[in-house]
Amino acid sequence: MSEYQFLFHNTRGAVRFEDTLKTKNISYKIMPPPVQLENCCGISIRLEYDVVEELLCPDVREVYLFKDGKYELYCENKQ
């Protein structure tokens, strides 16, 4: 299973996304966005999941694959 870092357009979207994860019983970790990805205050969510596309929604701005201590852009939402 791969590990992903989710960034959001705003805090409200992150909270809605967290509610979705709770409903689906998906384990996750809330944390500030890693400085390598964004240098600001805010919320990001890291989780392990097989089919990340199932979790994508308008609140998600970018998703990064976290592998070997590095981040690689997996997908972005340009809305």
CATH code for the domain in which residue 34 is found: 3.30.70
pLDDT at position 79: 60
Look at the chain and report how many structural domains it folds into.
1
The residue ranking higher by pLDDT, 39 or 73, is 73
Over residues 60-68, the mean pLDDT reads 95
pLDDT at position 37: 86
Q: Which domain does 39 fall in, by range?
A: 2-76
Tokens of 31: 């944390």
Angle among Cα 28, 29, 32 to the nearest 5 degrees reads 140
pLDDT at position 5: 96
Over residues 37-48, the mean pLDDT reads 86
Over residues 15-32, the mean pLDDT reads 96
Q: Which of 9, 75, 5, 3 is nearest to 37 (CA)?
A: 5
